[in-house]
């Protein structure tokens, strides 16, 4: 069974440009989460999809970030326009279940550097 995959693995862009990150969860997992780790700080929650619906987007930093999950399969996270403070590692995770105790399976992350 394939794990969670993320694309690209690395991205270097200039301030003001747009970047789109993609996450493919484990097949059949209804829950998809996005997290971010800014250098030197803890991993922080961004948002949670259940199938194609946003269950919780309380962690999204501002309206420059837009997440979608069309058809309840893969998800994209777009940053437009990117700012220096958006640099960090973006993780995606998926799980199945609704009790909140389930194991989340993480992708390898996308390392974003905004210059």
Partner 1 sequence: GNSVTQMEGPVTLSEEAFLTINCTYTATGYPSLFWYVQYPGEGLQLLLKATKADDKGSNKGFEATYRKETTSFHLEKGSVQVSDSAVYFCALTDLGGTSYGKLTFGQGTILTVHP
- Nearer to partner 1 by Cβ, of 4 and 112: the residue is 4
Q: Residue 38: which of 61, 20, 21, 55 has the closest Cα?
A: 61
Residues in contact with partner 1, shown as a per-residue x/- string from 10 to 39 under the rule CB under 8 A: ---------------------x-x-x----
79, 60 Cβ separation under 8 angstroms: no
Mode of pairing for the β-strands spanning 65-68 and 53-56: unpaired
Instruction: Tell me the Ramachandran region of residue 62: left when phi exceeds 0, alpha when psi lies from -120 to 50, beta otherwise.
Output: beta
From 20-28, 40-48, 67-75, 77-85, span contacting partner 1 (CB under 8 A): 40-48
Name the site residues for partner 1 (rule: CB under 8 A).
4, 31, 33, 35, 41-45, 48, 55-56, 58-59, 91, 93, 95, 98-109
């Amino acid at each position: 069974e394939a794990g969670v995959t993320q694309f690209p693995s690395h991205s270097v862009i200039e301030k003001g440009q747009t970047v789109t990150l993609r996450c493919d969860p484990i097949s059949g997992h209804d829950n998809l989460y996005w997290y971010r780790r800014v250098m030197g700080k803890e991993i922080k929650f961004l948002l949670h999809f259940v199938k194609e619906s946003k269950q919780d987007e309380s962690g999204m930093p501002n309206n420059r970030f837009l997440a979608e999950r069309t058809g309840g399969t893969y998800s994209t996270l777009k940053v437009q326009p990117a700012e220096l403070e958006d640099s960090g590692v973006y993780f995606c995770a998926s799980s199945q279940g609704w009790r909140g105790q389930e194991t989340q399976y993480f992708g390898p992350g996308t390392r974003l550097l905004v210059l």
